Amino acid sequence: DSGVTQTPKHLITATGQRVTLRCSPRSGDLSVYWYQQSLDQGLQFLIQYYNGEERAKGNILERFSAQQFPDLHSELNLSSLELGDSALYFCASSVDAGGSYEQYFGPGTRLTVT
């Protein structure tokens, strides 16, 4: 158990809909990362938050957005969903300080868009 929790575990929705994925980091970790994993694209970094502030953006579509709340949990919002958005979405947390950059991953949310 990594200490990172993600909900829901599975999500099935239709094209054009909007969903919210939730992540709670390990206790004490200020940094949260979101990733998308699909068979053809591998593991894609989407966005990072550190202590409530956006810190880095990767290959995140404009239809996607995220935020990190004062209690450090984070949400990833996916809107106007397309079939190609079907994938596993992982969040990870990290201390990100003092040279300690290893990440701890949650179990993921499997999104299926029909």
Partner 1 sequence: GNSVTQMEGPVTLSEEAFLTINCTYTATGYPSLFWYVQYPGEGLQLLLKATKADDKGSNKGFEATYRKETTSFHLEKGSVQVSDSAVYFCALRTGGSYIPTFGRGTSLIVHP
| Residues within the interface to partner 1 (CB under 8 A) | 2, 4, 33, 42-43, 45, 48, 50, 55-56, 58, 90, 92, 96, 99, 101-108
| Shortest distance (Å) from residue 89 CB to partner 1 | 10
Give the other-Cβ count within 10 Å of 11's Cβ.
19
Of 79 and 110, the one with the shorter C-beta distance to partner 1 is: 110
CB 48 within 8 A of CB 54: yes
Of 85 and 96, the one with the shorter C-beta distance to partner 1 is: 96
| Shortest distance (Å) from residue 23 CB to partner 1 | 11
Of 3 and 16, the one with the shorter C-beta distance to partner 1 is: 3
- What residues contact 90, with CB distance under 8 A and at least 6 apart? 6, 34, 35, 36, 37, 43, 105, 106, 108, 109
Of 38 and 79, the one with the shorter C-beta distance to partner 1 is: 38
| Shortest distance (Å) from residue 38 CB to partner 1 | 12
In 3D, which of 24, 44, 25 has the Cα closest to residue 87?
A: 44
Range list of β-strands (E), 69-108: 74-78, 87-94, 104-105
